[in-house]
Structure formats: structure tokens, C-alpha cells
Amino acid sequence: MGLPDFFRDRRGNTAVMFGLFFSILIVSMAGAVDYSNVISRRSKAQDALDAATLAVAVLRPATVEQAQAAVKLRLDKELGDNPDKVVIGQFNYDTKTRTYYVTAKGTYKPFLLGVVNIKEIPYEVISETIQAANGTLELALVLDNTDSMGQILNGSSTRLDVLKTAATNLVNTVMTSANKDYVKVAVVPYADYVNVGLANRSQSWVSVGADYTVPAAAKTCTTISTKQVCTGGVYGTCDSIKDGVPIKVGCWKTPQTCTTVNITPYQSCNNPQPTYYKWYGCVRHQVDSKTKMLVLPDPLTAYTGVLETAQKCPTAIQPLSNDKTVVTNSIKGLVNSIGSYKPDTFIPGGLHWGVNTLSPPAPFKEGMAYDSKNKEPKKVIVLMTDGANTLYTNSSGQIVSAATGSPPTISSSLVAPTYTAQDNACKYAKGKNIEVFVIGLGVTDPTALSALKSCATDAQHYFDAQNANDLIEAFEIIGGKLSVVRLMQ
């Protein structure tokens, strides 16, 4: 073979090789286009299945069959024309973990790869969704039960009435039959003190002396021979403060003129009775002897029970419970006064006992161990108050009333350590990764408002309620946040 023939052969080989390379290039380009289309279609199917499963998980259908049918309808709606004929594959619901496991399968028909006899490209997407609360939820409702909560808020309902409605709505939202084993709620009524419950009298974390009786004093009689007679004056209303909230009270705008006149003498005798001192469940706050500050939750020494002649603390704490009836009954039983007891406000104490109900050590042991990520369990405090502190910590750490005069004025030396104690309790809770929501109802005092906002986990966790609708809406929003369904993957 001569040289020209050789070159002719090489040109022929080159043409063959180029043709083969060009074919591979065309197939590769076609594959890239179709592969990109498959990725896009699969992504759309994944988003559609996630949206469908999340939507149905929120609705909580009564049966698995109803749930599956609802997911199918929502999936078809999300996909629209659905060219890949995406259909539900596997559908499971685990009642123990409250988890939906759903697969969907689609078939993509290539535009270009058909030239190499690839007619279909199947794909599958998976959605795993946990229903109801984000993991196990432990929620402490720390609720204001002070005297000011008796004021009318919307026509005929008191602030406390509206609070009961709002708190019950939240409980109904997070405590469903589907998540009964995964949600626990505690109710912590607070005022000047808290009530830990008579059933805990023998617990090691309470130190209560025995009930006792002071015998009646001797009967005495006094001769009365004069009386006061008052005339004139103008009676009207004056500004005052009731548990930190401005109110109007009856008063003499112009004083009366009073004189003492003689009357026919008579004997006035008393009728002494024994005085009975009992424990009604009230405990004192613990104070560090050195720092004079309140001892943070999880104390090492017992709380001191207070023996009184009548109950001087709110209704008892309801520890964490997964029984919705027990929790809602506790909310129904909230009161803002008992007999002559008209409680003032000490927010740090409420916060302390809110943490105590969530903390696994004594005094209450219903809570699980803390999770550093606050997922299993998720621990949450919802603090509600309608004003500033009206009880304060003095230099000895004692809880005292700082109000004097009418309208009352506050000793500034008592305000700072009180709000420091409140801030410490908030920081302690957040240091345990407890999520803290705060609702202020009509709070106007600048110091109180700043302290409440600072206590919340962040700005989105503080709610400024000005009326009944605001208060109910705040609890509804929190309930929604705590019952959000969650995609597992």
C-alpha cells in the first residue's frame, strides 16, 4: 500500500472516531438535559408531598384511611397537571411517635434519551412528618392571680375571667387526644406567694410546723358614754392604685365636720375566740443569707411553710399533667381573692415555681431531664401578668410592701433588687434552654415593661395585650407555635 492509500485510511478512521465521539457527546448532552428535568420534577414532587403531609397532619384526621385520602387530594392539588403521574406509594402512621411516613412515585418520560432507548426514568420521594407538638412538650402556665385581676376588662368579664378563657384555649390546642402521651401542662398561680398544695406537707422539700391554737383571751367590758356625730362634706371619687393598677375609689372631696356628743352610758363587752393557725399550702421564698437574693430554683434546703389564721396565697399549683381535664379544671379554679385576702404581685416567685414544675429534681418530679437542645422534651414557660411588682425584696431579702400613702408611692431602694431577682429567675430559666413567652396585659410602668420584655426569649416571645381580644389572641398564637407539625426529613 502506498503512502496516499495510507493517508486515505487514516482519514477514514478519523471520520469513524469523530462520528463515535459526536454520538457520545449528543447522548451526554441529552442526558444532562433530561437529568436536570428529572431533578426539577422530583424536587417539585417532594415539595408537593411535604406540603400535603404537613397540611393533613395539622388537620389530624380521625383515621389513617381518612388521612391517606386527604394527602392524595392535597398532593394532586399541589402538583397541578402532574405530567409524571405522581401517586402515593407507602402510607404509614405510627401512633406511638405520631409520625406520618409517606412515599410517592413518579415516572419521567425523557425528551432526548429516547434515542438510546431510555423511555422512562422512575423516581421516588419520601415525607416523614411528626404530628402535633414539636417533640415532647412540657409547659408551665405561670398566671397572675392578684387582686388587680378582678377588674372588669370587657364589659362584664374580669381580667381573670378572660385569662381563664385564653389559657383554656391554649390547653385545648396543645393537649389533643392524638398527643396525650407527649404533652404535659402545669398551672402555677402566683400572687405574693404560691401555694404548693396541702398534699405535699410531708415532703422533704417543705418544712412546716404543726398547726396550733392560741386560747381565747379573758372577756373584757368597756363603758361607752360618747359618740361621734359628723355632718356636711362632699363625697366623690379619687385616684388610687390597686395592686399596681390605677383605679377610682370613693373618698371625701371635702371633709365632714365631726363633733363628740354625750350619750347615755352603756356597757360594751367583747367575745374572745380562740385563734387557729393552720397551714394552707403557702410557702416563703428562699433567701440567701449572704447575698440577700432569692435562691434560684432547685434549692438544697426546704421551703418554709407559713401558718396563718386564713389562706393567704392563691389556689394550689397543678404539677405537670397529661390529663387535659385535670389541667383545665385547675384553670377554672383560679381566684384573685379569698375572703379578706387581696393578694399583691411578686413576679419573681411565680417564675421560680414555674421552673420548679419543669425541673426534674424536687420539689416536683414530673418533668423529664433537661435536653440541651430543648427538643426532647421541649420545656416552655408562659408568664402572664397585668402590671408591675407591688411586693418587693428589702435589704434582708424579706418580701415587703413598699407602698405608702394614697395614692401609694414606692420606695426606690426596693425596686432595683426586686427586678434584679426577677431578671435572675428569667436568666436561670433561659440558661436551662427553657423557652419563655411573656404576656403583659396593660403594663405601662417603664421598669416593669422593660423587665418583662427582657425576660422573654426574644422580641417575638413578648406580647403586649391591651384588651380582652389581645389577651386571647396572644395565647392563641403561642398555642399555634407550640403545636406546629414538623418535617422529619
Phi, psi dihedral angles at 173 (to 5 degrees)? -70, -45
pLDDT tens digits along 305-315 = 999 999 999 99
Is residue 80 scored above 80 in pLDDT? yes
Closest CA to 83 of 117, 51, 110: 110
At 408 the pLDDT is 56
Give 189's pLDDT tier (boundaries 50, 70, 90): very high
Predicted pLDDT at 94: 80
Q: What is the pLDDT of residues 138-170, one digit of tens each?
A: 999 999 999 999 999 888 899 999 999 999 999
Q: Does residue 34 have a pLDDT over 80?
A: no
Quick one: what percent of the chain has pLDDT higher than 70? 84
Cell of 110: 425523557
CB atoms within 10 A of CB 460: 10
Contacts of 441-445 with C-beta under 8 Å, sequence gap 24+, read 441/144, 441/159, 441/384, 441/385, 441/386, 441/387, 441/465, 441/466, 441/470, 441/471, 442/245, 442/386, 442/387, 442/466, 443/385, 443/386, 443/387, 443/388, 445/244, 445/387, 445/388
Tens-place pLDDT, residues 426-439: 999 999 999 999 99
- What number is the average pLDDT over the span 101-116? 79
Q: Which domains does the chain have, with CATH numbers?
A: 3-130 (no CATH), 137-213+274-487 (3.40.50.410), 216-269 (no CATH)
